[in-house]
Chains A and B, each alone.
Chain A
C-alpha cells in the first residue's frame, strides 16, 4: 500500500511537469480515439451492408445503366428469391452542400431491406402516391422533414425540377444502419423520362438481388453474370458488402494516411512521456541509491519507476477515454452529414487503453534499467 502512495507522491513531486504530461497524454489518447472512429465511420456503410444480398451492375462501370428486361432474366436464375432495382438520382436539395442519397426504387425494394422499418400505414400511403417519397430518420431529423411535406429537388443527372411528397419516415432496425437517404418510385422517374428523354427510359441503375442462402452468393453471382454474358450490357454481380467496400477502397490511401497519423500521435506522446520519465529518474538517482543502501532490491526501484509511469499514463489515458465520447458527439455535430454513423466502438476504447499502457511501459524502460543498475556509490555521488 505504501508503495502506491510513494509512487503517487513521486509522480506529483513536479506538479507542473506531471500535469503537462497528463494533459499531453489526454490530448493524444483523445486524438487517437477520434481518428480510429473516423476510419471506422468510413467503413460503417459497408459493415451495415448485407452478405445475403447481391448487387448487379453494368460491368463497364456504375455510370452505365442496365435494361429493365434483365429483371425477369435474373429472377429465373436458380437461388434468386427476389429482384428489386434502383437508380441513383443524385439531385440537389436547395444547395449542393445539402448532399444526401436519393434512390428511385422498385415497389418491392423494401422487402429486401428489412432493416428499414416503415410503419405499415405510411408504406401504404407511399405506395398509393406516385410522387410519394420515404425519407430516413437521420435525414428527416437533419432537415426537419415531416410526413406530408413537399420536397423539391433540382436534378443533375436527370435535368429539371422534381417534386416529391414525404409519405413516410423509415427507422433503422438498429443504430448501425444508415438512414440518411430518400427512396421514391422508380415508376415516377421512368414515366417522366418517357415524356422528356425517351431514350433514357426503361433503364435501371443496379439490381438488388435477394438470394436463398448467403453461402451460395458466389455461385449465384456467377450464374447471373452468365445469363447476360455477351449481351449489350454485361453485368458484374457481387455481394452488397463487396459493392460498398468498393467505394471505400477508392479512398483507401486517405484512410491509410489517417491510420498512420493516428499512430504518429502515439509516437509523439511517447517521446514526451519518455522524456518526462528520463528527467525524473535522472534527478532522483541519488534517492534510488539511498533506497538501495537501505536494502531495497532493484525490483523495488523498478516497481517505483514503472508504477509512476503507469500512474501518469492511467490518469492521462483515463481522462482521454472519458472525453472521447463527448468529443465524438461534438465532432459529429460539426461535420454532420459526412459521416451518418459516427460512434466510438468498443475496439477503439480497447485500443486507446492499450496505447496508454504501452506508452507507460515503454517510457519507463530506459530509466528503469539505468536506475536498477546504478551502483550505490556512484548514485549517492550523483547530482541531479
Chain B
C-alpha cells in the first residue's frame, strides 16, 4: 500500500510560502521554455502556410532570396511555357512573374524605419496563393498606381490604412484594399501591379516567378529541365521549401538562444526544488520514522517524496503554461536576417508543446526531488523516531 496522495498534497499546503516560492521559480522557467517553443512553432506555421506544395519558385542561381534574384523577360517566358506548368480554366498558364523590392516604412510608435516587402504581381499571383483573400476594399487595378496591403502591415505602419497614400519611387500610391493571408508571410507584404511597380522602380527584370505544376510528380523533371537549359540561369524550388530555407537562420537562432536560456534557468529551478525537498525531508524525520514504523516500506517513502516533488513541479508547470498561453494574444515582429525584411508571426500553442512543457516541468521535479527522496527512504527507523 502506498502513501495516500491527499496526505502528500497536504504536506505541500502546510508549507505554503516555500511551496509558492519554489513553484513560482519553476513556473518562470516553464514560461520561458514554452514561450520559445511557441515562437518557433509560430514562425514555422507562418512559413508553412506561406508556401503551397505544388507551387514552384524560380530564382537566379546562387541567390537565397527574391530580393537578390533577377529574371529576364525572355527567361520568364521560357519557364512559363514549360509543359509541366498547369493551365487555368481559360487555358492560360498558371504562372506569376513578380518583382520584389523593399521599402522603408516607419512603424507607429517607433522612430526607426523597418523594411517592408513590396511585391509586384498579377491576378495569377492571387490565383496561385489561395490563402490570400481580400477582406476589405477592392483589388488594385492593372495599370493604376494602386496597392493593397497585408493584414500585418495595415495599421501597424503609419499611413497604411485604406484610402491613405504612400509615396515612393516618385509616385503617390493609393491603398485600395487589405488582404488577409491566413497568418502566412504574405501578411507582412504590400502588393501592387507588377508592370506599374517595375516602371516606377525602373527595373527591367522580374525578381522571381511562381508557377503551379499540373502534376506534382513532375517536379523532378521540371527542375532538371530548367536547371539544364542554357538560356536560363535560374534554379527552382518548391515554394514551401523556398520559404523555410529563407527563415532557417532565424528559426535556428530563436531555438538555440531559447533552449540555451531555459537549460541554464532550469539548473536554478532544479536547485530550488532540491532545496525545498531536502528541507521537507529534514523537517519530517520523525514523521518518516513513524510512517516506516506503521509498515510503509522504503520504496513507498521514496515514492511519497517523489510524488510530492512532482506535484510541486506540476503546479509550477501548469502556472507557467497558463502564463505562456496568454502570449498567444501577442505577436512578434522582427527582421528576417536572410531577407532583411520585416516578418510578423505569433506565438502558437500546440498540444505537443503543452505536453513537452509539462514533461519538462515534471523532469525538473524528478531531478530535484530524487536525491532528497533517497535520503528520506534510507533513514533508519529507530534513529529517525528518536530525532527531535
Please state if A20 and B271 are interface contacts (CB–CB under 8 Å).
yes
Query: Known contacts being A17-B279, A27-B267, is A249 close to B112, with CB within 8 Å?
Result: yes
Docked complex Cα distance between A272 and B275 (Å): 8
Query: Known contacts being A63-B67, A271-B21, is A23 close to B271, with CB within 8 Å?
Result: yes
Residues of B within 8 A of A265 (CB): 261, 264-265, 268
- A144 at the B interface (CB under 8 A): no
Task: Pick from B99-107, B121-129, B149-157 the stretch touching chain A.
Answer: B99-107
Please state if B68 and A90 are interface contacts (CB–CB under 8 Å).
yes
Residues of A within 8 A of B340 (CB): 62, 250
Sample (23) of A-B pairs whose CB atoms are under 8 Å apart? A17-B278, A23-B267, A24-B268, A24-B271, A27-B268, A35-B261, A59-B104, A61-B102, A61-B103, A61-B115, A63-B101, A155-B62, A156-B62, A157-B63, A157-B68, A159-B61, A159-B62, A261-B32, A268-B272, A272-B25, A272-B268, A272-B271, A275-B22
- Interface set of B (CB-CB < 8 Å, partner A): 17-18, 21-22, 24-25, 28-29, 31-32, 60-64, 67-68, 101-104, 110, 112-115, 168-170, 201-202, 204, 233, 254, 257, 261, 264-265, 267-269, 271-272, 274-276, 278-279, 282-283, 332-335, 340, 342
Please state if B68 and A199 are interface contacts (CB–CB under 8 Å).
no
Please state if A246 and B112 are interface contacts (CB–CB under 8 Å).
yes
- For B17, the closest partner residue in chain A by CB is A278
Chain A positions 225 through 258: 1 when the CB is less than 8 Å from some CB of chain B, otherwise 0: 0000000101010000000011001111110001
Number of residues of chain A lying within 8 A (CB) of chain B: 54
Please state if B333 and A253 are interface contacts (CB–CB under 8 Å).
yes
Please state if A276 and B275 are interface contacts (CB–CB under 8 Å).
yes
Known: A62-B115, A268-B29, A275-B21. 17 other contacts (CB 8 A): A17-B275, A28-B268, A35-B261, A232-B170, A232-B202, A246-B113, A249-B110, A250-B114, A251-B335, A252-B112, A253-B332, A253-B334, A258-B257, A265-B261, A272-B22, A272-B268, A272-B271
- A60 at the B interface (CB under 8 A): yes
Shortest CB–CB separation between residue A217 and chain B, in angstroms? 16
- Interface set of A (CB-CB < 8 Å, partner B): 14, 16-17, 20-21, 23-24, 27-28, 30-31, 35, 59-64, 90, 92, 96, 154-157, 159, 199, 232, 234, 236, 245-246, 249-254, 258, 261, 264-265, 267-269, 271-272, 274-276, 278-279, 283, 384
Docked complex Cα distance between A155 and B62 (Å): 7
Docked complex Cα distance between A59 and B261 (Å): 39
Please state if B334 and A199 are interface contacts (CB–CB under 8 Å).
no
Shortest CB–CB separation between residue A7 and chain B, in angstroms? 19
Please state if B104 and A271 are interface contacts (CB–CB under 8 Å).
no
Per CB-CB distance, the 3 closest pairs between chain A and chain B, nearest first, are A250-B335, A249-B112, A272-B272
Q: Which of B32, B63, B114, B169 contacts A264 (CB 8 A)?
A: B32
Residues of A within 8 A of B24 (CB): 271
Please state if A264 and B28 are interface contacts (CB–CB under 8 Å).
yes
Docked complex Cα distance between A63 and B104 (Å): 10
Please state if A279 and B264 are interface contacts (CB–CB under 8 Å).
no
